[in-house]
């Protein structure tokens, strides 16, 4: 084995460990129960694998409901981000208009604005509008956080689709809207799914805005933040695993599209 190859393999192992070791620790502690949590060094494989802790945890009053709310918020946020982000990205990619560059920058700058400063005015405003403590309200806030990414990524996505393909569609009988869904969308789909995943994950993991803008109808993250600090360790691990699993599953489901987008695998 040459030194170069050894270096390469070491790199791969280190990066895999970087991602997998925390996941393994979390999973082992969440599924192995009290004996594993107390043990050090940890066993490679928890002897008695049990979902008992998970089941207990899920049975705690409000956890399952918070999960559903978190899911609802994340799905709404995904829908809004895609519905608003794609047309904006398309306009940025296809048309030259006054202020296009300023718009790009402004979109990005929204991320530089600390949510903390906005917390109080937002809460007051949401209470007036009747959006406070509703999944829709939190979803709107999360959309604001996910939208810059949605706009900029879909802009580069559409830029990568040759204009001539659209023009060919027009010449061969498509209206602009038909061309969009017959030619542009099928080609943009891998990227669009990446935009959707990212919006979902941002919303699912976001905790500050979700905590501030809700009281009783909390998303899972906000709910866990509020209650876990007073819970036993087993529940803390179970909660952590529950937060991570949907994101990991989601990315696995669409990884083929992600790879296609990054050019690792062509069709």
Q: Where are the beta strands (DSSP E) in 131-237?
A: none
Q: Which is nearer to other proteins, 5 or 267 (CB)?
A: 267
Among 219, 187, 235, residue whose Cα is nearest residue 67: 219
The size of the interface with other proteins (CB under 8 A), counted in residues, is: 18
Of 31-39, 73-81, 95-103, 166-174, the segment contacting other proteins by CB under 8 A is: 166-174
CB count in 10 Å sphere of residue 25: 14
* Cβ 96 to other proteins shortest distance, Å: 11
Q: Is 174 in the site for other proteins (CB under 8 A)?
A: yes
Q: How far is CA 220 from CA 22, 46, 75, 179, 226, in A?
A: 21, 27, 14, 41, 10
Q: Is 100 in the site for other proteins (CB under 8 A)?
A: no
Please pick, from the candidates 45, 113, 170, 259, the single residue that binds other proteins as defined by CB under 8 A.
170
Q: Which is nearer to other proteins, 189 or 245 (CB)?
A: 189
Among 98, 96, 101, 93, residue whose Cα is nearest residue 163: 93
Q: Is 178 in the site for other proteins (CB under 8 A)?
A: yes
Q: Which is nearer to other proteins, 75 or 187 (CB)?
A: 187
| Tokens 């990066």 -> residue | 15
For the chain, the straight-line distance linking the first and the last C-alpha, in angstroms and rounded, comes to 33
C-beta of residue 204 within 8 angstroms of C-beta of residue 74: yes
Among 196, 8, 5, 182, residue whose Cα is nearest residue 89: 196
Q: Is 168 in the site for other proteins (CB under 8 A)?
A: yes
| Tokens 């802009």 -> residue | 155
Please pick, from the candidates 175, 216, 230, 252, the single residue that binds other proteins as defined by CB under 8 A.
175
Please pick, from the candidates 162, 233, 253, 262, the single residue that binds other proteins as defined by CB under 8 A.
162
Q: Which is nearer to other proteins, 49 or 168 (CB)?
A: 168
Among 220, 225, 79, 210, residue whose Cα is nearest residue 132: 210
Q: Is 164 in the site for other proteins (CB under 8 A)?
A: yes
C-beta of residue 179 within 8 angstroms of C-beta of residue 169: yes
Q: Which is nearer to other proteins, 174 or 251 (CB)?
A: 174
* Cβ 197 to other proteins shortest distance, Å: 21
Q: Where are the beta strands (DSSP E) in the chain?
A: none
Q: Which is nearer to other proteins, 174 or 254 (CB)?
A: 174
Interacting residues with other proteins (CB under 8 A):
162, 164-165, 167-175, 178, 183, 186-187, 266-267
């Amino acid at each position: 084995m040459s030194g170069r190859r050894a270096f390469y393999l070491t790199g791969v192992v280190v990066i895999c460990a970087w991602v997998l070791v925390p996941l393994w620790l979390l999973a082992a502690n969440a599924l192995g129960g009290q004996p594993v949590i107390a043990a050090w060094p940890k066993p490679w494989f928890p002897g008695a694998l049990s979902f008992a802790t998970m089941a207990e945890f899920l049975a705690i009053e409000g956890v399952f409901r918070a999960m559903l709310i978190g899911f609802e918020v994340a799905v709404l946020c995904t829908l809004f981000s895609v519905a608003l982000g794609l047309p904006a990205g398309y306009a940025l990619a296809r048309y030259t208009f006054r202020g296009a560059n300023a718009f790009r920058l402004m979109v990005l700058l929204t991320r530089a604005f600390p949510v903390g400063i906005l917390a109080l005015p937002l809460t007051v405003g949401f209470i007036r509008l009747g959006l406070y403590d509703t999944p829709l309200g939190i979803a709107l806030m999360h959309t604001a956080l996910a939208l810059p990414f949605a706009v900029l990524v879909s802009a580069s996505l559409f830029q990568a689709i040759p204009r001539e393909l659209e023009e060919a569609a027009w010449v061969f009988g498509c209206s602009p809207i038909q061309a969009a869904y017959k030619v542009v969308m099928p080609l943009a789909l891998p990227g669009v799914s990446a935009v959707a995943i990212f919006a979902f994950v941002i919303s699912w993991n976001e905790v500050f805005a979700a905590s501030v803008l809700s009281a009783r109808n909390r998303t899972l993250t906000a709910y866990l933040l509020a209650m876990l600090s007073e819970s036993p360790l087993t529940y803390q691990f179970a909660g952590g695993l529950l937060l991570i699993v949907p994101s990991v599953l989601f990315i696995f489901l669409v990884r083929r599209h992600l790879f296609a987008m990054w050019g690792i695998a062509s069709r």
